[in-house]
Amino acid sequence: MTDAHRPDRWFVPESVLRRLKGDPEEDIAAARRDPDAFWLAQARAFEWTKTPTTGLTWNRPHMQWFADGETNITLSALDRHARGEARTRAALIWLSETEEAQVITYGMLHERVERAAAGLRTLGVTAGDRVVIYMPLTPEGVIAMLACARLGAVHSVVYAGLGVGALRDRITDAGARVVITADVGYRRGKLVDLYAIASEAIAELGGVEHLVLWERIKTYQREHDARTVPWESLFTHGRAGAVPVNAEHPLYVLYTSGSTGKPKGVIHTHGGYMVASTYHLGQLFDVRAGDVFFCTSDIGWIVGHSYIVYAPLAAGATVLFREGAPDFPDPGVFWRTVERYGVNVLFTAPTALRLFMKLGPDVLKGHDLSSLRVIACAGEALNPEAWRWAQQHLAGGLEEGAHAVVIDHWWQTELGAPILGTHPRWPARPGFVGRPLAGVDADVVDEQGQRLPDGVQGHLVLRRPTPGMMRGIHGNPEKYAQVWTENPAGYLSGDLAVRDEHGYISILGRADDVLNVAGHRIGSADVEDALVSHPAVAEAAVIGIPDDLKGESIVAHVILRQGFEDQVGRGLRASISEHVRRELGPIATPGEIRVVTALPKTRSGKIMRRVLRAQALGQDPGDLTTLEG
């Protein structure tokens, strides 16, 4: 164990402890004693049209939480605040790339969502229907999500940075009849023509009946798909009350990448998801009603679903979110925002911290960050250097006098809410994500499901369901069952991990071929599919190699079709790269394309990516006995 991993390396200063509210130990003990009673007690903090009396119903792999309860998540996220003194409190503070601010109170948000929901109803959207949302990070995107939820319809948000092919696949898989989009999004001052992408994606999809279009730039005229409906027209049909649904009713489907096949649509529900995500917002991030909570994710990802939209609103907090890149128009923009809006809690990704670490502390000069209590990081490994830098420069130091703590925590799209983490009251152990949180039964096991001793690397599993977990994979029950049956110990996360003698867990990376670029999960299979759909590419294999800033970057190996060899050096790599960007979006575009004549394969034809990875890193490729001769 290196010095950086020693538990006494850092303590939690009194100055920080004084500002924190919850204490997790009691909750951990209570949840261990009687998990159902614990979660039912948490559920009482929400609005129900029928209060649940049952906790978990477990028939592996199928789970239900609060199965006799009835609610609609928007009752807790909107109605209860709009009725009370929080009516005039800011629910959303949105900043554009150019720092133009829009403040929407709980009262205003409630009304806009009710109107948008009534409009969607006139398009025939009812409970259970899937609606795809392809919107930039704006209040309109949030309103679209909440309006679907209001009706009991199931939204499926597709990140507005994804390309035509990725969007088309998701609309098709979800079976959406309605797609909601905008004319443009902004990234580094440039316009991204979202409407063109959406129109192209649905061009051949007869099942899509309506394309709702929010026009931000009215002067940006072009021909419209005949199915286009103006966003504004939704707001002219009165207001829609919340449709009460069973706690287990699906709230959304969110697509995420696996190692094989197409992205899978993870299903989350109204009841359990609301309780778990909001509970951890309060307990782990210490967010309280009225706090300003700055979440730097996007509504296209799970973090944006849980921590830009549902949990902070259910908690009555003010959520601050911003369109655009963290260092545009200048690298001071994040810290100016923290100071200007008195941000109390910040949720960001290690990639952003590493970016600021690289830029140096000058960027922070002159900004008062003392309103911050907690800086929470997730999505990818938080390396000890980035943690230490952030604690030193953003949180006020590593000793007495610090005003905040930088905490790491771990979860996944499938899990809806944090699972492991370093509670602000616990000493940080750089390199370790933390301990299992209240109500979580996580462990490190071998392939047979046997618990491994401390210090031995194995698979991270959850032995028992948590309320925020996925209930299924849209249209693919077999794939869903697989995550609960592949390892006898429980839910198989796909991550490799190791536990230390203090019960802290360190995440060592994926056990499969899923890449993590700047906190975004990308299936190597998705990128390979996009590569081979280019006319010049016969075969492709994609690996991730370490990257100082983004955690991992993508290297593609391609074998060319006959007749294309002489185009290498004449723009072929750029053409392949552009093709992947169009299909999947910029985040999945390879940083490097290597043209090769053969790929290392097993005798059964499986590509041995670890051999490619070893070659790329100049390492020993290890055991090659299964390599094709």
Reading the block at residue 225, the tokens are: 């798909």
* Cα–Cα distance measured from residue 133 to residue 357, given in angstroms and rounded to the nearest whole number: 34
Please select the residue that binds ligand AMP; options are 353, 492, 507, 588, rule is CB under 6 A.
507
> Segment contacting ligand AMP (CB under 6 A): 81-89, 125-133, 310-318, 372-380?
372-380
Query: Which stretch in 20-28, 121-129, 473-481, 487-495 sits in contact with ligand AMP by CB under 6 A?
Result: 487-495
Lookup result for tokens 């004693």: 33
Identify which of residues 199 and 277 has a Cβ nearer to ligand AMP in the complex: 277
**Interaction pattern, residues 412-441, with ligand AMP; x per rule: CB under 6 A:** xx-------------------x--------
Q: Does 269 bind ligand AMP (CB under 6 A)?
A: no
Whose Cβ is closer to ligand AMP: residue 312's or residue 494's?
A: 494
Choose which of 70, 408, 528, 552 interacts with ligand AMP (CB under 6 A): 408
Q: Token pair for residue 369?
A: 């960050």
Stretch that binds ligand AMP, among 54-62, 315-323, 357-365, 378-386 (CB under 6 A): 378-386
Least gap, CB of 228 to ligand AMP (angstroms): 32
In the complex, the smallest distance separating the C-beta of residue 434 from ligand AMP, rounded to whole angstroms, is 8
Q: In terms of Cα–Cα distance, which of 386, 396, 407 is closest to 281?
A: 407
CB of 510 to ligand AMP, least distance (A): 5
CB-based contacts of 544, cutoff 8 Å, min separation 6: 515, 516, 517, 524, 552, 553, 554, 555, 613
Closest CB to ligand AMP among residues 470, 531? 470
CA distances from 182 to 120, 210, 499 (A): 16, 13, 46
Q: Given the complex with ligand AMP, which of 291 and 495 has the nearer CB atom?
A: 495
Pick the binder of ligand AMP from 74, 516, 577, 589 (CB under 6 A): 516
Q: Which is nearer to ligand AMP, 120 or 374 (CB)?
A: 374
Beta strands in 232-361 (DSSP E): 245-246, 250-256, 264-269, 292-295, 318-322, 345-348
Residue closer to ligand AMP, measured from CB, 186 or 410: 410
Q: Which is nearer to ligand AMP, 163 or 379 (CB)?
A: 379
- Give, as ranges, the residues between 73 and 102 that touch ligand AMP (CB under 6 A): none
Which region among 64-72, 99-107, 374-382, 473-481 touches ligand AMP (by CB under 6 A)? 374-382
Strand partners, 376: 347, 407
Sign of CA dihedral 71, 76, 78, 79: positive
Chain-centroid distance of CA 426 in Å reads 25
| Min dist. Cβ of residue 394 to ligand AMP (A) | 17
Report the nearest approach of ligand AMP to the CB of residue 420 (Å). Answer: 8
Round to whole Å and give the CA distance between 312 and 146.
13
- Distance, CA of 433 to chain centre: 17
Site residue total, ligand AMP (CB under 6 A): 20
Q: Output 64 or 413, the one with its CB closest to ligand AMP.
A: 413
> C-alpha distances in angstroms, 253 versus 64, 175, 412?
17, 11, 14
- Got the DSSP string for 232-246? GGGGGS-------EE
Q: Alpha-carbon distance 133 to 462, whole Å?
A: 31
Task: Find the part of the chain contacting ligand AMP (CB under 6 A) among 159-167, 215-223, 373-381, 422-430.
Answer: 373-381
Residue 551 · residue 519 · CB < 8 Å: yes
**Strand 318-322 to 292-295 pairing:** parallel
* Interface region with ligand AMP, contact rule CB under 6 A, candidates 174-182, 379-387, 581-589, 613-621: 379-387
Per CB under 6 A, does 544 bind ligand AMP?
no
Q: Per rule CB under 6 A, is residue 256 in the interface with ligand AMP?
A: yes
**410 touches ligand AMP by CB under 6 A:** yes
Query: Cβ closer to ligand AMP: 295 or 378?
Result: 378
Contact region with ligand AMP (CB under 6 A), list: 290-298, 375-383, 569-577, 615-623: 375-383
Instruction: Give the Å distances, CA to CA, from 285 to 302, 315, 377, 496, 626.
Output: 16, 12, 10, 25, 47
Separation in Å, CA 96 to CA 62, 160, 186, 197, 293:
42, 15, 9, 22, 17
Distance of CA 209 to the CA centre of its chain: 29
Closer Cβ to ligand AMP, 261 or 571, answer by number: 261
Q: How far is CA 282 from CA 275, 290, 314, 341, 627, in A?
A: 11, 12, 11, 20, 51
Q: Are 142 and 166 within 8 A, CB to CB?
A: no
Q: Which stretch binds ligand AMP (CB under 6 A): 43-51, 135-143, 338-346, 380-388?
A: 380-388
Residue 44 burial by Cβ neighbours in a 10 Å radius (0-12, 13-18, 19+) = exposed
407 lies in the site for ligand AMP, by CB under 6 A: no
In 316-373, at which residue ranges do the beta strands (DSSP E only) sit?
Answer: 318-322, 345-348
Taking the least distance from each CB to ligand AMP, the nearer of 331 and 467 is 467
- The three-state DSSP-derived secondary structure of 200-226 is HHHCCCCCCCEEEEECCCCCCCCCCCC
Site string for ligand AMP, 520-539 (x = CB under 6 A): -x------------------
Q: How far is the CB of 8 from ligand AMP (least distance, A)?
A: 22
Task: For the CB of residue 188, give the shortest distance to ligand AMP in the complex, in Å.
Answer: 23
Task: Count other C-beta atoms under 10 Å from residue 287's C-beta.
Answer: 30
- Give the pairing of strands 245-246 and 70-71: antiparallel
Of 247, 309, 317, 381, the one binding ligand AMP by CB under 6 A: 381
Among 510, 561, 581, 613, binds ligand AMP (CB under 6 A): 510
380 near ligand AMP, rule: CB under 6 A: yes
Decide: 43 and 52 in contact? Cβ < 8 Å.
yes
Q: Which of 407, 319, 352, 381 is nearest to 509 (CA)?
A: 381
String of contacts with ligand AMP for each residue 286-325, x by CB under 6 A: ----------------x-----------------------
Q: Judged by CB, which is closer to ligand AMP: 106, or 285? A: 285
Among the residue ranges 6-14, 133-141, 319-327, 406-414, the one whose residues contact ligand AMP (CB under 6 A): 406-414
In the complex with ligand AMP, the residue whose CB is nearer, 140 or 173, is: 173
Binding residues for ligand AMP (CB under 6 A): 256, 302, 378-382, 408-410, 412-413, 433, 493-495, 507, 510, 516, 521
